Amino acid sequence: AQSVTQPDIHITVSEGASLELRCNYSYGATPYLFWYVQSPGQGLQLLLKYFSGDTLVQGIKGFEAEFKRSQSSFNLRKPSVHWSDAAEYFCAVGPSGGSYIPTFGRGTSLIVHP
């Protein structure tokens, strides 16, 4: 069965600092990988996704993520965090091919200090 681990429940960074949110997955084949962001009281918005090809994926709002098969990881990065980035971030893994049943991690809460 597929699973996703986000080891950090909370991350605190200062505005302007760099950010890396960790995601590890377990899946038998090459997975589809996603990062979503959820602002308070809102639904989820897709930041970026990896299906195949280039392992460094660019997303919206200046985010990027790198797929590392050897480490079963798909960490999310941003070079300079803005106060508006404070939100909950979810990593998700889905089966490659066929109907999707994505599995989400428990999320990492990002706190941004001025």
Partner 1 sequence: DAGVTQSPTHLIKTRGQHVTLRCSPISGHKSVSWYQQVLGQGPQFIFQYYEKEERGRGNFPDRFSARQFPNYSSELNVNALLLGDSALYLCASSLSQALSGNTIYFGEGSWLTVV
List residues near partner 1 by CB under 8 A: 4, 32, 36, 41-46, 49, 51, 90, 92, 94-107
Rounded Cα distance, 43 and 28, in Å: 29
Give the nearer residue to partner 1 in terms of CB position, either 17 or 46: 46
N-to-C CA span, the chain: 41
Least separation in angstroms between CB 56 and partner 1:
19
- Distance, in Å, from the CA atom of 52 to the CA atom of 29, rounded to the nearest integer, reads 12
Least gap, CB of 69 to partner 1 (angstroms): 18
44, 37 in Cβ contact below 8 A? Answer: yes
Question: Maximum distance among all alpha carbons in the chain?
Answer: 45
Q: How far is the CB of 19 from partner 1 (least distance, A)?
A: 19
Q: What phi and psi values does residue 83 have, to the nearest 5 degrees? A: -55, -30
Tokens coding 104:
């989400």
Nearer to partner 1, 97 or 114 (CB): 97
Nearer to partner 1, 73 or 104 (CB): 104
Measured from the CB of residue 72, what is the shortest distance to partner 1 in angstroms? 18
The residue (of 13 and 47) whose beta carbon lies closer to partner 1 is 47
